[in-house]
Copies of this chain bind each other. A is one copy, B any other.
Amino acid sequence: MEFSVTQIAAIIGGNIDGDGNTKINNVGSIEDATPGCITFLSNPKYEPHIYTTEASAVIVSRTFSPKKSVSAILISVEDPYLAFTQLLEEYNRMVSLSKQGVEEPAYLGKDVTLGQHLYRGAFSYIGDNCVIGNHVKIYPHAYVGDGVTIGDNTVVYAGAKLYAHTAVGSHCTIHAGAVIGSDGFGFAPMADGSYRPIPQLGNVVLKNHVSIGANATVDCATMKSTIIGTGTKLDNLVHVAHNVEIGDHVVMAAQAGVSGSSTVGNYVQIGGQVGISWHIHIADKALIGAQSGLGHNVKEGEKLLGSPAFEIKSHIKSHVLFKRLPELNERIKQLEEKTLNLPTTKEK
Interface range on chain A: under 10, 10 to 19, 20 to 34, or 35 or more? 35 or more
| Cβ contact within 8 Å between B328 and A328 | yes
Q: How far is the CA of A176 from the CA of B217 in the complex (A)?
A: 9
| Cβ contact within 8 Å between B331 and A336 | yes
Q: Is A297 an interface residue (CB 8 A)?
A: no
Q: Which of B163, B236, B322 contacts A325 (CB 8 A)?
A: B322
Q: Is A6 an interface residue (CB 8 A)?
A: no
- Per-residue CB contact flags for chain A residues 65-92 toward chain B (1 = under 8 Å, else 0) read 0000000000000000000010011011
Q: Which of B197, B307, B321 contacts A326 (CB 8 A)?
A: B321
**A88 contact set on B, CB distance < 8 A:** 198-199, 201
- Per-residue CB contact flags for chain A residues 332-347 toward chain B (1 = under 8 Å, else 0) read 1001111111111110
**A17 contact set on B, CB distance < 8 A:** none
| Cβ contact within 8 Å between B331 and A323 | no
Given A143-B158, A342-B338, do A215 and B307 touch, yes or no (CB 8 Å)?
no
| Cβ contact within 8 Å between B224 and A217 | no
User: Which of A8-16, A45-53, A112-120, A179-187 is found at the contact surface with chain B?
Assistant: A179-187
Chain B: CB-nearest residue to A128: B98
CB distance from A46 to the nearest CB of B (A): 14
**A328 contact set on B, CB distance < 8 A:** 321, 328-329, 332
| Cβ contact within 8 Å between B339 and A335 | yes
Chain B: CB-nearest residue to A236: B217
Q: How far is the CA of A326 from the CA of B314 in the complex (A)?
A: 9
Q: How far is the CA of A231 from the CA of B331 in the complex (A)?
A: 49
Q: How far is the CA of A233 from the CA of B194 in the complex (A)?
A: 10
**A322 contact set on B, CB distance < 8 A:** 318, 322, 325
Q: How far is the CA of A86 from the CA of B122 in the complex (A)?
A: 40
| Cβ contact within 8 Å between B223 and A29 | yes
**A223 contact set on B, CB distance < 8 A:** 27-29
CB distance from A170 to the nearest CB of B (A): 14
Q: Which of A132-175 contact B (CB under 8 A)?
A: 139-141, 143, 145, 157-159, 161, 163, 173, 175
- Of the listed residues A231, A248, A266, the one surrounded by the most CB atoms of chain B closer than 10 A to its CB is A231
**A143 contact set on B, CB distance < 8 A:** 139-141, 158-159, 176
CB distance from A37 to the nearest CB of B (A): 9
Given A195-B249, A215-B177, do A145 and B123 touch, yes or no (CB 8 Å)?
no
| Cβ contact within 8 Å between A145 and B161 | no
CB distance from A342 to the nearest CB of B (A): 5
Given A182-B213, A231-B194, A340-B345, do A107 and B199 touch, yes or no (CB 8 Å)?
no
| Cβ contact within 8 Å between B273 and A185 | no
Q: How far is the CA of A106 from the CA of B337 in the complex (A)?
A: 80
Residue contacts A-B, CB under 8 angstroms, 20 given: A27-B223, A28-B223, A29-B223, A92-B199, A121-B125, A122-B125, A123-B141, A139-B143, A159-B177, A175-B182, A177-B215, A187-B211, A215-B237, A277-B290, A318-B326, A324-B329, A335-B336, A338-B339, A338-B343, A339-B345
Known: A85-B198, A185-B233, A318-B323. 7 other contacts (CB 8 A): A92-B201, A290-B293, A321-B329, A331-B332, A331-B336, A338-B345, A340-B345
